[in-house]
Copies of this chain bind each other. A is one copy, B any other.
Amino acid sequence: MVRFALFGAGRIGKMHAANIASIDGCALTYVYDVYEVAGRQVADLHGAKYTSSVDDIMTDPSVDAVLIASPTETHVDLIEQSIAAGKPILCEKPIDLDIARVNACLHNIGDKAGMVQLGFNRRFDPNNSALRKAVEAGEIGKLEKIVITSRDPAPPPSAYIAKSGGMFRDMMIHDFDLMRFLSADEPVEVTAVGSVLVDEEFARYDDVDTAMVMIRLSSGALCHINCSRRAIYGHDQRVEVFGSEGMLISNNQTETTVSRYSKTLSDAREPLLHFFTERYGKAYRNQVESFVNSLAESRSFNPNFEDGRNALIIADAAEESLRTQRTVTIKY
């Protein structure tokens, strides 16, 4: 039985809490949040203790592991403290928005970095898992192209934009990791373009809301990722892997499989699942199970700290390419 302390009782924290509480082999012991009302509510719902003291958690031997879902700027400190306390960590992405801070953290924790599983939940999405398995099994022969479409249903509020780190570090970072996961290869160079077409608020923060990148992998395979901060028909999440022997597409998802026929259309489905918590609900759950199983079986975590760092380096390179209008070489 893995007894978790959860940091952060916001939207994602709540979902993690529900998963921990209902997955066999783990339990929720503590909920930490600087906002007592929010923290206590989540704790009460699942019969856990609320605390506003990090130390309470770090010093309690009954806490077997921590799940960090608090704001990004707290991640590094909590990782370092958890490692010092000997508690394995499932940490939401990103490690930090600043690669210098990530590097410093890595310096501090050294080879204890292996105690961190990073929250790139999309690796645990059944569709993406199926794609990876097929690529690995050689089903499409030699991998030649990856095309990822990743569009949020609606832009976040201004306050979120201000602190997000920008399109590449906040949103496309998931897709950079997915590209690495699917290809088991590393990027060599990246080129990015972007526009503000959805919401002028993004321009205020020198950010973009519509972006495309092209990446060359070390094998010569090419990857295209395109992101938008708004897709009126729902959360558009498609992935295509193309190779010498075939292609696999991870198609979008709807709540039901009902299709409609009328005077004006045929075989129409409902709009796509809207929220990432619906679209990736299973992925979030599988991610916790994987963490728990890795602990139980003393296996390495996957994805790990290095995966989080590498994805951020790619994001930084994409950002630089957008600014300089040049192809940027990626060096980890």
Contacts and interface: CB of A to CB of B under 8 A. Distances in A.
Interface of A: 22, 126-127, 130-131, 134, 139, 141-142, 144-145, 147, 149, 151, 189, 191, 193-198, 210-214, 216, 220-222, 224, 226, 228, 230-234, 236, 242, 244-272, 325-327
Given A130-B256, A232-B263, A270-B266, A224 B212 contact: yes
Contact of A262 (B220, B233, B251): B233
A110 B149 CA distance: 44
B126 A255 contact: yes
Given A226-B147, A254-B266, A214 B191 contact: yes
Nearest to A151: B242
Contact of A266 (B126, B197, B234, B250): B234
A195 B228 CA distance: 27
A255 B242 CA distance: 22
A233 B263 contact: yes
A5 B155 CA distance: 47
Interface centre among A198, A234, A267, A269 (most CB of B within 10 A): A267
Stoichiometry, copies per complex: 4
A266 B257 contact: no
Contacts of A144: 195, 197-198, 210, 228
Contacts of A233: 246-247, 261-263, 265-266
20 contacts: A130-B258, A131-B258, A151-B242, A193-B327, A195-B220, A195-B221, A195-B222, A196-B220, A197-B221, A198-B244, A212-B224, A214-B214, A224-B224, A232-B263, A233-B266, A246-B260, A248-B258, A248-B261, A261-B271, A266-B269
